[in-house]
Amino acid sequence: MIMNILLVVFIFFAQLSGLDVNGVDQSDNIRYLTHNGSEVKTSFKVDKKFIGRYKGKKRGFLLLNADGTGVYKYDVYGFSREDCNGGEVRFVWGFIIDEKESIVKFDRPYGFSYPVVFVSSGKTGFQDCKKKSMVDYLMVRKDGSIAVSSSDDWVRVNE
């Protein structure tokens, strides 16, 4: 809840700062993704340490591809609408960037957290198909490991 409020505040100030939301060249790896009705300036041109598969002890995983696409598979899928198959969620993604086109990161006691916007590119959505988009955080710990904040044990793996 607090993180969603912080995201809305960030978007508000970013829009006040005069960000140009028109004519952004996709070849620059910058694109606007819509989350909760607001356009968010993002980039998928990130350090290669973020690209790849994140997984834990169960079957769920997060896959971030270098081309700005990915796959999210929940460990446990709850009760959902009949038209929601509960399978993998295919999406486009981007790290939130600021008016200087720098990737946004927050200093944390364990290291840093990076907000990432995910927007479903198919029929299957997030949170039992109730949401077309979601924001999650990749946590870079002081030891160099990278984990997904919404999933207790998902960490970046080398495959």
Spatial contact of 52 and 64, defined as CB atoms under 8 Å apart: yes
- Top pLDDT among 57 and 54 is at 54
- Enter the DSSP assignment of 97: B
pLDDT band at 128 (very low <50, low <70, confident <90, very high): confident
**pLDDT for res 75:** 61
Give the predicted TM-score (pTM) of the model. 0.78
- Torsion (CA) 122, 125, 128, 131 in degrees, nearest 10: -150
Domain encompassing residue 105 = 2-20+27-157
Strands (E), 28-132: 30-35, 38-43, 52-55, 61-64, 69-73, 89-96, 106-108, 111-120
Is 63 a residue whose pLDDT tops 50? yes
Helix (H) or strand (E) holding 147: strand 146-148
Is 76 a residue whose pLDDT tops 70? no
pLDDT band at 86 (very low <50, low <70, confident <90, very high): low
The Cα 53–Cα 62 span in angstroms is: 6
* Counted domains in the chain: 1
**pLDDT for res 1:** 47
Is 130 a residue whose pLDDT tops 90? no
pLDDT band at 22 (very low <50, low <70, confident <90, very high): very low
pLDDT band at 145 (very low <50, low <70, confident <90, very high): very high
**pLDDT for res 120:** 93
